[in-house]
Structure 1
């Protein structure tokens, strides 16, 4: 039975998040509806990660099995004719039967965008966090260096995060942009806790505003106390950009188990 891997791009503004929920329309529900219309059968899909309401993606990865054999272009041309304008399939490929989009992931890259104009921006309101106070970009760059490495990120997890442990490896935190225009935060790691990227950004913005010194970020990380960190940045600035894969599942971490994925 063929196993298909789809790379999905979406604007999460109108949705309750990736996962099917009883309180509104999800991206998963719209994709399943389109797949079932295309294939004429029920389809179960698995995703690389769950994005929250309002969060966007350019590289969400979804897999499913189907007994039907169609040309690969049917899965992007055909599905895109059935999907709403704010969801699109950008790539389709056949993968081994054992491929698991979450467990085979070697890491993810997220980007968070901040509009730092002194006044609100109507064109950025669904894609950026609007911060009106001028941000010190270089200070945030230096503070971000404290977050790179394998650490206990308990101070940056949501209170209802269900992961059994908070050890995660962050490979990269880049802060780029210009004060009084646009600033972006690129975060890459093996796996993430619930709201982890948004909490990291909210903490770095406190430094950017001059409210906290750069070394405070290291103190928050070491404290493992969520109450010590900055606020959770709003969802609309966050984009799941890419999921990384190798030739098989990633190696086990030093603790003996693979890093668990939360949700963003």
Structure 2
């Protein structure tokens, strides 16, 4: 079933014009500094992670390549554990491809590994959960210069006990519409599996967030609401009360993009890949099943 809201990028035959027996599905593990990108998704006239990656792959392979990603990060958001899949020539030396891409890609994008996987592997629909980290520097001097691009300087103290107490109330499956920018026809029901704040010795507070999936701006909105709790502007139970709204809550601040990093994506065993992808499509894709 196709997804009208999230078509492949770019839409080309999955074998790039090769024969049905001459391509192999591959998992692509990559990392990027999102500072100078307009997000993941390809956009005309803008520098995007997908655009840069597809250009490099197409140049190396001398054929168009379609890439499907686990999570489409917004402008300014980083990744150390992003996952995508692409259908590549079956006789391709994947270790050679990684080395070739290291020379061709700009320094703010790295392909860490290309691995042959079963045809049923789907980076987006097959994922069990996505893991993010959000870094907030609470020290008076702000973020360390070497981490300033992935850490937000926050000019207020953060009550870690309060934000953790508020976070526990958000765990589980809920309609997170109050924390999302709604997309027509898409569900905002998500299963939030982890939301935990940890203070570091260097004055940085890190939020670990994991869910089966996230809707648009959900992580940054959760962080923004919880930071308001952490600085004493809102009560501990306030973020949880917003789950009853059923629509975007305008009073929820959206935390800056550059503090957010996608760090890992989990997948089931190979034998369960097809079933997982089909189950996710039924939930996530609007229209008849």
Structure 1 length as normaliser, TM-score? 0.90
**Larger mean Cα displacement after TM superposition, 25-34 or 218-227:** 218-227
Instruction: Return the offset for 1:222.
Output: 2.4
Q: Which residue of 2 aligns with 1:252?
A: 279
Match of 1:18 among 40, 43, 46: 40
Where do residues 130-141 of structure 1 align in structure 2 (5 Å cutoff)?
A: 130-141=153-164
Structure-2 separation of matches of 1:106 and 1:146: 22
Distance 1:119-1:6 versus aligned 2 partners, 3 A rule? same
Question: 1:154: how far off?
Answer: 0.8
Deviation (angstroms), 1:191:
0.9
| Matched residue, 1:145 | 168
SS of the residue 1:207 aligns to:
helix
Match of 1:243 in 2: 265
Instruction: From the superposition, tell whether residues 204 and 132 of structure 1 become closer, same or farther in structure 2 (CA, over 3 Å).
Output: same
- Please say if residues 166 and 236 of structure 2, whose CA atoms lie closer than 8 Å, have aligned partners that are also in contact: yes
| Residues paired across the two proteins, number | 258
Report Cα offsets for 1:117-165 as digits up to 9, x if no partner: 223434443211221111101110111001110001111102x534522
CA separation in 1, counterparts of 2:73 and 2:51?
14
Q: Unpaired segments of 5 or more residues in structure 2? A: 1-22
Question: TM-score of the superposition, structure 2-length normalised?
Answer: 0.83
Q: Does structure 2 conserve the Cα–Cα contact (< 8 Å) formed by 1:9 and 1:89?
A: yes
Cα distance in structure 2, aligned partners of 1:91 and 1:4: 10
Query: How many Å separate the matches in 2 of 1:165 and 1:40?
Result: 38
Which residue in the other structure is 1:77 paired with? 99
Q: CA RMSD in A?
A: 2.1
Equivalent residue, structure 2, for 1:54: 76
8 A contact 2:41–2:49 mirrored in 1: yes
Q: Which residue of 1 aligns with 2:10?
A: none
C-alpha offsets along residues 145-186 of structure 1, whole Å, 9 cap, x if unaligned?
01110001111102x534522111011111111598101111
Equivalent-residue separation in structure 2 for 1:48 and 1:218 (angstroms):
27
Residue 125, structure 1, aligned to residue 148, structure 2 = yes
Unaligned runs of 5+ in 1: none
Counterpart of 1:8 in structure 2 is: 30
